[in-house]
Chain A
Amino acid sequence: MNQDNPIPPADDDEVRDPIEAVRAELRGYVDHIVSKIRVPRRRRSAIREELTAHLMEIFAHELARAPADARAAFEAALRRFGDGDALSNEIQASVPALEQMLFLLFNRERRMWRLMIGVGFVVILLGTSILLPALGKIRQLGDVNFHGQPVMTLALGVMIATAIVMVGVHLLGWGIARAVRKTT
């Protein structure tokens, strides 16, 4: 395949039928467009089906104009449809932020960073569930005269909980950074 041409070559059966070969190229063109769009798999497949239906129809229309030249009809269809890379970007920009966020969190194709984000959340929750009661206790004790062992225990608890929260934040940040790197 030519490096500049994102369309995969047709297989042998399709080469025997030039129109079928062109249809395969059109499907490849749409595959190229949707492969760059960061949306859940189901949504991507719906976009693929819809764009393919449209492109096939305009190809059929162009072919009806010049039945002897499937290649010319193919090129005319692509001209009508527009630049694939620009369309990918425009479709990506049309995806709501929430859907993009859900894709980042739950995309099945990328397990490692999802795990990191999940573990990060759990660790942060665990840390804050220790830290917040400990801080509350310190505030309560602040009104009375306290010293010695209870203070040391509380201080230790606060330090440990803070460390746990920091680990959680680190995991979460790492997961998000990996997610962003992999999807750009």
Chain B
Amino acid sequence: MTDIVGDKLRGHLQDLVLAALEGGEAHGLEILRRLEAAGDGSLRLKEGSLYPTLYRLEASGMVKAQWDEQTKGRRGPRRRMYRLTAKGAAALARGRIEWREFARIIGGIMKGAT
């Protein structure tokens, strides 16, 4: 299977992150794990590039973040946990509709002229 790398994901990452957070709150690394698992290991993303997307989503009120104070089983800096807000859930629902429409149209074109 072909890997899907950075440039192809640009523009879709916000919706993908919102979809990953639908499964419950998570920190950055966990969000990446969920995306990789959901993408059958084909998503290849520079992990740091997740954070600008998370900060944008947070600034627009689509996710909320808070520090995870639990340090059990690990040491070092704290992790920040993100969760989907109602606004984020609504944006995700819109994103899904737009994506289906996009895939329908582009899929039709890519099939080739008959």
Binding site for B on A (CB under 8 A): 33, 46-47, 49-54, 56-58, 80-84, 86-87, 90-91, 93-96, 99
Contacts and interface: CB of A to CB of B under 8 A. Distances in A.
B59 A50 contact: no
A29 to B, nearest CB: 10
Nearest to A56: B76
A91 B51 contact: yes
B46 A49 contact: no
Interface string B40-54: 000000111101110
Counting chain B CB atoms within 10 Å of each CB, the highest count among A47, A57, A99 belongs to A57
Main secondary structure of the interface of A (DSSP, over half): helix
Interface residues of B, number: 18
Nearest to A61: B29
B59 A96 contact: yes
B51 A87 contact: yes
Contacts of B53: 94
A93 B29 CA distance: 22
A26 B10 CA distance: 27
A56 to B, nearest CB: 5
Counting chain A CB atoms within 10 Å of each CB, the highest count among B29, B49, B77 belongs to B77
